[in-house]
Amino acid sequence: MNNQKRPIGVLGGMGPEATILFMQKVVQAVPAGDDSDHVPLIVDNNTQVPSRIRALIEGTGEDPGPTLAAMARKLEKAGAEALVMPCNTAHNYREHICKAATIPFLSMVDLTVEHIGREFPGARIGILASPAVRMTNVYDTPIKDAGMTPVYPKDEAAILSAIKALKVSANDASAFETARSAASELSTEGCDVLLVSCTEFSFLANDLKECYRVIDALDVLADATVSFSLGKAVPALNNSRD
């Protein structure tokens, strides 16, 4: 395998276990025979990024944008040739990142919508995500622009509680039940595919795949990260200066 890999900067810590899960997925996506075959990652696992829940849902928190911009600048200075952020909700602040850096930002949102549009054109997409994702139209706008329809579970309070529980423990049984119930509801609503677009729910994605057609945005981002590092074409790049 060609050992010339482009380093990728990871804006992480939202949450820390989800960042580690993303790194594991990147490792697993490489057909490696040696350490040098893997993608070099420069990771800022910054657990001090201001809460997206408090900023977007509760309206009481500090703006995460400036912190994310500072992380982007630091990662670029450290040698990253592209940036990724394994947090769906934080993509509400991606303009801060794109303005702060001169290297490409691989948007998990744009990559995922492009992937679903290619695989399931015109789909009704059941979205398993933080309520902040719906409130900010992070996914709604690109999904509708692509001729597809977003559908959300009705009990957003239960979804938010499950996300908070998963931040405490990725094996929380009640969160699993909430996710299964939401998936069943979305399937009953006629959704063609279930989009896991909260990295905490990514811990449950394999379980959900046993019963539903599932796309995990974290998987899409991991695949794109590997492709970019290996010098392959990646669709839906933001702030690209390649």
Cβ-defined contacts of 209-218 (< 8 Å, 24+)? 211/183, 212/183, 212/187, 215/112, 215/115, 215/116, 215/119, 217/88, 217/108, 217/109, 217/111, 217/112, 218/18, 218/21, 218/22, 218/25, 218/86, 218/108
Q: How far is CA 195 from the centre of its chain?
A: 11
198 included as an active-site residue: yes
The DSSP letter of residue 103 is S
**Catalytic option among 98, 191, 198, 211:** 198
pTM over 0.85: yes
Task: Assess whether pLDDT exceeds 90 at residue 241.
Answer: no
Which numeric CATH code is attached to 8-108+219-238?
A: 3.40.50.1860
Domain boundaries, the chain: 8-108+219-238, 109-217
188-237 residue pLDDT tens: 999 999 999 999 999 999 999 999 999 999 999 999 999 999 999 887 66
Q: Minimal CA–CA distance to 208: which of 225, 191, 221, 224?
A: 191
> Is there a shared CATH topology between the 8-108+219-238 domain and the 109-217 domain?
yes
Which of the listed CATH numbers 3.40.50.1860, 3.30.230.10, 3.40.1080.10, 3.20.20.70 matches domain 109-217? 3.40.50.1860
Instruction: Please give the average per-residue pLDDT across 106-114, as a whole number.
Output: 97
211 included as an active-site residue: no
